[in-house]
Structure 1
Amino acid sequence: MPAATARPYYPIIYLRGFAATMNEIEATTADPYMGFNLGSAMIRQDSEGVAHPFIFESPLLRLIKDHGYTDAFQNGGIDYADKLAPVRSIWIYRYYESVSKSLGSSRRRSMEDFAIGLRAFIVRVRDTICGNDPQARENFRVHLVAHSMGGLICRTYLQNTCCHGLTEAEMKAAGHTAKDLDVSAGKPFEPLVDKVFTYGTPHNGIDFLGFNVPDLGSFDRLQISNFDRERMREYLRLKGTQAVNDLHGAFPASRFFCLIGSNYRDYEAFFGLSKKGTGPSSDGLVMMENAYVKDAPRAVISRSHSGAYGIVNSEAGYQNLRRFLFGDYQVTVTLEVEDLPLPTDIQKKKDQGKTIGGIYHFDVSARVRNGPNYSLHERRYDQASALMEKYDDIKERKKSIYLFTGYLLKDARGKDAHDLALVFTLDLGVHVPAFEVDHKFWFDGYAEGFSYRDTLTIAVRDKSVKYGFTSKHGQLSAPEIAEQKELVNGAREIRIEVGTGPNVRPGFMGTLVIRVEPWEG
């Protein structure tokens, strides 16, 4: 009998990202795990200035070590003969295999074909794990984990293939039948997916120098048009001008996590030309603003799209992945800005009716107590990734500013933890801009810089939340009991006042709103 496929430890299916040339396709099909097995040895310095490697083994190995998963390959493939595969298993959807010269047809295939192939692969995984057990098949789900274009294949599967169904002609053209897809022609079907996690996926396309990549039709030998928004509307089956970066109800946005990279400097692909075309606020290929879907939980880490400092082969990426898949609490942090006292001279100009402009930068980084070598979320001014808001927009804003969503995992609690609290720190900084007065920069009387910076320590327990400020209580100290507002389904809301106080100019006053809710994993 197969083991019960109970949440959250479903099988994991990994989809790699885009390969442009046939040589790249050959190289990726030669790798059994298509990059999910790659780690990194990021360098750090000790107090004496001596460099030491920090080894991250790979997402594949860490899931095996930390959560008891196993890779699904057996007997030179996924041949389990007369026995069933384990539920806690990692599978690689090798969609480029059908395109390669050595293993496939040497013919480019469409996003729609890849999505149909994903359905066939999910069904194969189900049959290999569950056999003919009706209860196991009923409970079966998978987690989809995808890098870059792999995330768009997942969305094509969810928003097109599953929602609209497939005709006999579409199945035949993709090399499949209704039987191996376990569908009825022309009818929508259940995707069999519990959660989706994307690394650096261009959910709103790819832009270079401010322009979306074009669809060159038959001249597009590399299929760059997969990232053209009009082509994306086709394979996502969107209507008219529907937003591309939106699931449009095809899958719960709350169960679709988007991890965004911000380190454009270390992305060396395409001879370094890519990062020159995207610049700051990108991972070197995908602009940060294009790397998430509407209403989905998300976080930013200082990693590149791929390479030695890539987003997939990183401790920070892995920690976000495991916590989203298996975490105990979901934590969503927003900021309500209540006042931004201007520098004295600027305030005088405003009182005289002058037009005041400027862009504030908000530094936000989050770490867990037992994670000194990574940040779950990091947006910083000195890394050209800080959250930017115009002065006028902040003053007129009716809604709070979304900062990030993270997950706390009891199993990740450090052995030396002195209590049962799940502790994370939140570093918040507000950078005052070079102001404009009547559209001209004004430099008299003050220098731009940080008007506010402090670190909060937040300790989450099953029934309570405590917090403390490093400036007042010391590092990793959380003596203050937070007042909690009880919400639906066990969620709690905590409001913490932050800022310089009303008499500091330039200054900042606001409230951090922290929503903590059970995450069934």
Structure 2
Amino acid sequence: MPGLKSSVNKTAPEPTDPFHPIIYVRGYAMTENAMEATVHTPYMGFNLGSTRARQQYDRSFRHYIFESPLIRLMKEYGYQDSYADGINLAEPGGAVDFPDTDKRLPRRSIIIHRYYEEEHEQGNGATDSDAMGRSQRPSIEAAAVRLSKLIARVRDFICGDNTQARADFKVYLVAHSMGGLICRCLLQNEQADPEQSRRLVDKVFTYGTPHNGIEVMGLNVPRFFSLWDAHNFNRAEMAEYLKLKPRNGRVNSLNGAFPAERFFCLVGTNPHDYNLTRLVIDKASDGLVTMDNAYIEDAPRVHTYTSHSGPYGMVNSKIGYDNLVRFLFGDYRLRITMQPAVLPLSPPLQRAYDDGATIRGSYLFECTLTPRGDDPVPLSSRRIDHHSAVFRSFDELLNPHKAGLKRPRYPVLASVFLDSKRIEVGTTMVMNLELNVEGTDFRLNGGSVLSRRAPAEHLFRQTITLKITLQPGGWRMRYIFADQQWSDGRGSELKEDEQGHFIELKNSKGFAAKLYLQMADWR
């Protein structure tokens, strides 16, 4: 794209894997006005960015500009859109005016699935111009059918008759909200995939998709509520168009139709900056979709302090973009799990427990992971004040059989994707982990014990600087307890046992745990 330069002063990588075409599938437009506004925009929200203020050393503020995921993909990775001279080359008949090969779509193309736009295909492949620009409200299945055809057209226009190029062709699907359900319908419902395009999908990234429906005032949207097609978020309705049998009343499973490890779920945790809908949605949400409904079983997911949409929305955030490009183009995956060995009680509670009192309580685990970079923002953030901390009961952790479990349910604190090509200095990826473990309000013989403890007392708290150095044939991890030491030191090597590499955590209160860090190749 002429005139654009990289915001990180890096040249775009050479056109090799993993750079496949990206198809963006926008979310739900509730009203007729919203649909009309949608079809009259070229990029349907993927071009929206955000600005943030950052305080400087002299008390002044500087604005940090995140241009948009669209513009960043163009600047940093050499992508371009599918529009030429006012024509959408990816729509039916779009290539008619450009038969010459130099107008073919490159592999690094971004295509917008314009499913809210009425489309009339004529026998000669041209599009009825009178119909273009008018909005329609298609069913989920109809939008998935059009997505299937769009993927096939993109393959044809990029690869032409080149047999090897067609055999190697893959595409990325990036979707917001209901757009993720359209992608799932393509993958899970054979009738919605007339072109057999699901085999061409390499990875799927969803922002705030209600994979298990939408709850209003604690109740799933009723099936009979068809106004504005809101019944699309009813679980019984979803089970039908996803060709899925609910499991324990839930429909957030790919049911083997697509590899779950290649399906990413970004979960928002900021309801406060969404519209008034947030008033009838649970606090543990992005303002529209609850955290418990925003993920796919066994798929990687990340919690971020973003709203469903708006100025602080997830699609137009740098946090969302950083996770997107690392998932699509990265080369490593990092999984962090804590295995507590001792969860001590405070001295008064311990004495009461020793005297035979009944004590009930659970634990909240916080973890915020922030990589070093030009404008460091957390890749993953699970916080108590965002209602996103990992919750575990004492029995789930240290007495699993009493909780009806075969093994302890240790908290997975973060599972993120990393890209060694984005290293700023040298050959080492550097990131900070902010860890905190707190107990909930304990109950002593059924009564509150708030008077026996200081508010918000931490059972364990530490900032850990993690350094991952790439070496021939692998990597080497070191760590620094940054609350006591400067983070630019050499650090200590991780210990290792039969379960993997870990950092030993302990303090003078008696807390003890192992923090396991599992690195794996990712392509």
TM-score, shorter chain, exceeding 0.5: yes
Classify the secondary structure of the residue corresponding to 2:189: helix
1:230 maps onto 2:240 in alignment: no
Deviation string, structure 1 residues 476-503 (Cα, Å, up to 9, x no partner): 445212245799xxxxx421111324xx
CA-to-aligned-CA distance 1:241-285 (integer Å, 9 cap, x gap): 4631111111111111111111111112xxx1x211224221111
CA distance in 2, matches of 1:393, 1:240: 25
Residue aligning to 2:436: 429
Compute the displacement of 1:102 (Å). 6.7
1:142 aligns with 2:171: yes
Change (3 A) 1:240 1:327: closer
Q: Which residue of 1 aligns with 2:139?
A: 110
The amino acid across from 2:506 in the alignment is G
Q: Secondary structure at the match of 1:35?
A: coil
Q: 1:194 aligns with which of 190, 195, 202?
A: 202
**Structure 1 range deviating more: 204-213 or 9-18:** 204-213
Q: 1:64 aligns with which of 67, 74, 95?
A: 74
The answer to whether structure 1 residue 245 and structure 2 residue 252 are counterparts is yes
Q: Deviations over 1:89-132 (max 9, x none)?
A: 11111111138997477553211111111100000110110011
- Tell me what 1:378 maps to: 381
Cα distance, 1:446 vs structure 2 = 2.1
1:466 alignment partner, one of 459, 462, 478: 478
**CA shift for structure 1 position 151:** 0.6
In the alignment, the residues of structure 2 paired with residue 113 and residue 309 of structure 1 have an alpha-carbon distance, to the nearest angstrom, of 31
The residue number in structure 2 matching 1:186 is: none
SS at match of 1:191: helix
Greater shift, 48-57 or 286-295, is seen at 48-57
Query: What runs of 5+ residues in structure 1 fail to find an aligned partner?
Result: 172-180, 184-188, 488-492
Query: CA offsets per residue over residues 183-240 of structure 1, 9 Å max, x none?
Result: 5xxxxx7531000011111111111222111111xx5121111111111111110125
Partner residue, 2:17: 7
Deviation larger for 316-325 or 403-412:
403-412
User: Residue 3 of structure 2 corresponds to which residue in structure 1?
Assistant: none
Matched, 1:220 2:223: no
Query: Which residue in the other structure is 2:8 paired with?
Result: none
Distance across 2 between alignment mates of 1:467 and 1:313: 33
Distance 1:310-1:456 versus aligned 2 partners, 3 A rule:
same
Q: Per the alignment, in what secondary structure is the counterpart of residue 281 of structure 1?
A: coil
Q: Does residue 314 in structure 1 map to residue 317 in structure 2?
A: yes
Tell me by how many angstroms 1:74 deviates: 1.5
2:289 aligned residue (283, 286, 290): 286
Q: Does 1:479 align with 2:491?
A: yes
Q: Give the Cα separation in 2 of the matches to 1:30 and 1:193.
A: 28
Matched, 1:254 2:261: yes
SS in 1 for 2:480: strand
User: CA offsets, 1:326-355, max 9 Å, x none?
Assistant: 112111111112221001111222233333
Which whole-Å CA distance do the structure 2 matches of 1:99 and 1:442 have between them?
Answer: 64
- The range that moved more, 422-431 or 460-469, is 460-469
| CA-based RMSD | 2.3
What is the count of residue pairs matched by the alignment?
Answer: 478
* Structure 1 residues 368 and 240, CA gap change in structure 2 (3 angstroms): closer
Aligned amino acid, residue 428 of structure 1? L
More displaced, 232-241 or 420-429?
Answer: 232-241
The residue number in structure 2 matching 1:152 is 181
SS at match of 1:349: helix
Q: Secondary structure at the match of 2:295?
A: coil
Shift in alpha-carbon separation, 1:107–1:95, aligned structure 2, 3 A: closer
Q: CA deviation at 1:468?
A: 1.3
- Asked if 2 retains the 8 angstrom alpha-carbon contact of 1:6 and 1:139, the reply is no
Tell me if structure 2 keeps the 8 A contact 1:26–1:102: no
Q: Is the 8 A contact 1:457 1:478 kept in 2?
A: no
Q: 1:248 and 1:420, CA in 2 relative to 1: closer, same or farther beyond 3 A?
A: same
2:69–2:321: 8 Å Cα contact kept in structure 1? yes
- TM-score of the superposed pair, with normalisation by structure 2: 0.86
Q: Following the alignment from structure 1 to structure 2, what is the Cα–Cα distance between the partners of residues 6 and 159?
A: 29
Q: Identity across aligned pairs (percent)?
A: 42
1:85 alignment partner AA: L
Task: Structure 2: give runs of 5+ residues left out of the alignment.
Answer: 1-13, 121-129, 401-407
